[in-house]
Structure 1
Amino acid sequence: MSSREPSFHEVVKNRHSARAFLPSPIPNDVLYDILHEAQCAPSNCNTQPWSLHIVAGEKLNELSHALTTDLKVGSYCLDFTFDKEAYPNPFRQRASEQGRSYYQALGVARGDNLSRSEVVERNVKFFGAPHVALLFIPAVGDNVRVASDAGMYAQTFLLSLEARGYAGVPQAVLSYFAQTVRRILNIPENFKLLYGISFGIPDKNHPSLSYREGRVFVEDSVIWHR
């Protein structure tokens, strides 16, 4: 999308989780280039244990309708447990701050439950993105090694999007509907849904893009042993 090729520093620093997209799809040839770069991600013993299902067009509408129905009735089916409240501090505090900043950017008050429900529903409408990528992994042991490999694949995919002026947002919430996703996309039971990534051209005029998630200082994450 840009005539100037950004530096690696720019790509890493500018990558962010966009939560609003324009409807225009990414051209297939560009998307194939992005996928080829993502395939260069490292993995344990070169197993490359990821299976990415990209959904667009009418299938995307079908999937969104099904997930919206599941969300409204509270029909959840996760392949992996997830409890944000189980995170010890300061990790849980960071998650709370991200949520507060996001709702504040959208102008949604703390007690406005109706508007908050509409914001949550935007997740299963893929934030208006023309594509969603569902990242599945084969069930292997406790799944930790495989999931870490898939995470490196996803990060490479996200950086490749950013390098071309596109954006994506990893969505753990999509994994809450793993069984529905498997049914609609005809995916075998032994492949587990890690998360989804909605992606496309970011809508830079949307209020959700008016803020950025902060990052802690290196000293808060790295311990030196010398």
Structure 2
Amino acid sequence: MRSRYSVRKFLPTPLSPSDIRGVLEDAQFAPSNCNTQPWTTHVVSGAARDALSKELLKAHDEERLSYDFTFDYADFGDGAYYERAQDHGATLYQALKIPRSDRAARNAHARANLEFHDAPHAAFLFMPVFGDGVRVAADIGMYAQNFLLSLTARGFGGIPQTMLGMYADTVREFLGVPEEHKLLFGISFGAADVTALANSFHMGRAPLEQSVVLHDTPGVLDEQ
């Protein structure tokens, strides 16, 4: 868990079929509400991966966003959540040596998301919507964490990408996915390029005191 990080530059070498199957089998063991197992995962590789990337880039250039679920930095508010998001962006672009004023380089990095950061594979996580969808989305999150940890355990890497979910109609049409299946996000995966600047840093985490409230559980926050 502590060695996993979001890989933003991959080597082109594909994973073996047995490794991909192993990751998918590990992900399948995620818990879910009432054991509904509500995930449907589409994996693209090879020519399908390349063709979908082209469609995503075209949609991006034509500003054809199509969200199934909203995303807006303004929704984070003015407190810790927004500050962490701002720190994430600053840390990333400092590591990439891209100044705030270089809009072209920032746009190129954004487009790299739609090229799957050169990963040989990408998985798209679709979900039905029961009620308000929150419990289903939580199940998909646990599935995705299993997926990512299995990659790490096997010596590979991945990155969950909200941006891939911003072109849900494009992805659905390309993959032949029915409208009732909603795209939460995608995961690009493969072998990390450990020499790349984009993989030269890891994001920090907030101290426990900012996210944990203990009730009759003494001594936990005294430990270092």
Give TM-score scaled by structure 1 length. 0.94
Q: Which residue of 2 aligns with 1:62?
A: 51
- Distance (whole Å) between structure 2 residues aligned to residue 148 and residue 109 of structure 1: 36
Q: What CA distance in whole angstroms lies between the structure 2 residues aligned with 1:117 and 1:82?
A: 18
Aligned partner of 2:172 in structure 1 is 182
- Is residue 104 of structure 2 the alignment partner of residue 118 of structure 1? no
Residues 1:45 and 2:18 are matched in the alignment: no
1:27-51 CA-partner distances (Å, limit 9, x unpaired): 0011111111111100001000000
Match status 1:161 vs 2:145: no
Cα offset for 1:59?
Answer: 0.7
Structure 1 residue 219, shift from structure 2 partner: 1.2
Post-superposition offset of 1:85: 2.0
Q: What is the alpha-carbon distance in structure 2 between the residues aligned to residue 218 and residue 23 of structure 1?
A: 38
Question: Is the aligned partner of 1:20 residue 2:6?
Answer: no
Q: Structure 1: where are the runs of 5+ without partners?
A: 1-11
Q: Output the CA distance in 1 between the equivalents of 2:181 and 2:49.
A: 20
Distance of 1:43 and 1:84 partners within structure 2: 28
Query: Percent of aligned positions with the same letter in both sequences?
Result: 45
Deviations 1:161-198 (CA, angstroms, capped at 9, x unpaired): 00011000000001110000000000000000000000
Deviation, 1:72, is: 1.4
Offset, 1:120: 0.6
Q: In structure 2, what is the equivalent of residue 200 of structure 1?
A: 190
The letter for the 1-side match of 2:144 is: A
2:71 is the counterpart of 1:82: yes
Question: Does the residue aligned with 1:168 lie in a helix, a strand or coil?
Answer: strand
Q: Paired residue for 1:6?
A: none
Matches of 1:222 and 1:147, distance apart in 2: 22
Distance between the aligned counterparts of 2:85 and 2:177, measured in 1? 31
Higher mean C-alpha displacement, 72-81 vs 192-201: 72-81
Aligned to 1:5: none
Distance apart, 1:80 and its partner CA: 0.7
Moved over 4 A (4+): none
SS at match of 1:14: coil
Structural RMSD (CA): 0.7
What is the TM-score when the length of structure 2 is the normalising length? 0.95
2:112 is the alignment partner of 1:93: no
Give the counterpart of 2:136 among 146, 152, 171.
146
Which of 107, 124, 129 matches 1:134? 124
Q: Which AA in structure 1 matches 2:13? A: S
Rounded Cα–Cα distance in structure 1 between residues aligned with 2:179 and 2:138: 20
